[in-house]
Structure 1
Amino acid sequence: MIDRVVTLTVSSRDASRTRFISAAKGEKQGDYVVFEEAADLARLLTENRVRILESMAGRGALSIGQIARMVRRGTHVVQDDIQALVDAGVMDQNDNGVEVACGAIRVDFFIHSKSPANVD
Structure 2
Amino acid sequence: MTTLTVKIESLEDTMARAVSVVSQWDSAVMEDPAVTLSFPSWEVMHRVLAPKRLDILKVLVGQGPLSIREVARRLGRDFEGVHTDVDTLVQNGVVDKTKGGIVFPYERVHFDFDIRAAA
TM-score, with structure 2 as normaliser: 0.87
Give the Cα–Cα distance (whole angstroms) in 2 for the partners of residues 109 and 43 of structure 1. Answer: 16
State the AA in 2 paired with 1:80.
Answer: T
> How many residues are aligned here?
113
Structure 1 equivalent of residue 9 of structure 2: 11
Give the Cα–Cα distance (whole angstroms) in 2 for the partners of residues 19 and 76 of structure 1. Answer: 37
Give the Cα–Cα distance (whole angstroms) in 2 for the partners of residues 106 and 88 of structure 1. Answer: 17
State the AA in 2 paired with 1:96.
Answer: G
Kindly indicate whether residue 39 of structure 2 is the aligned counterpart of residue 35 of structure 1: yes
CA RMSD after TM alignment: 1.4
Identity of aligned residues (%): 26
User: 1:56-84 CA distances to partner (integer Å, 9 max, x unpaired)?
Assistant: 21100000111010000010000011111
SS at the partner of 1:66?
Answer: helix
Unaligned runs of 5+ in 2: 25-29
Could you tell me how far 1:10 is from its partner in structure 2?
0.9
Could you tell me how far 1:113 is from its partner in structure 2?
4.0
Could you tell me how far 1:88 is from its partner in structure 2?
1.3
Give the Cα–Cα distance (whole angstroms) in 2 for the partners of residues 101 and 57 of structure 1. Answer: 8
Structure 2 equivalent of residue 95 of structure 1: 99
Could you tell me how far 1:114 is from its partner in structure 2?
5.7
Unaligned runs of 5+ in 1: 116-120
Structure 2 equivalent of residue 44 of structure 1: 48
Could you tell me how far 1:14 is from its partner in structure 2?
2.0
- Asked if structure 2 preserves the Cα contact closer than 8 Å seen for 1:62 and 1:97, the reply is yes
- Asked if structure 2 preserves the Cα contact closer than 8 Å seen for 1:38 and 1:109, the reply is no
In structure 2, which of residues 54, 72, 79 is the aligned counterpart of residue 75 of structure 1? 79
State the AA in 2 paired with 1:17.
Answer: M
Give the Cα–Cα distance (whole angstroms) in 1 for the partners of residues 113 and 80 of structure 2. Answer: 31
SS at the partner of 1:73?
Answer: coil
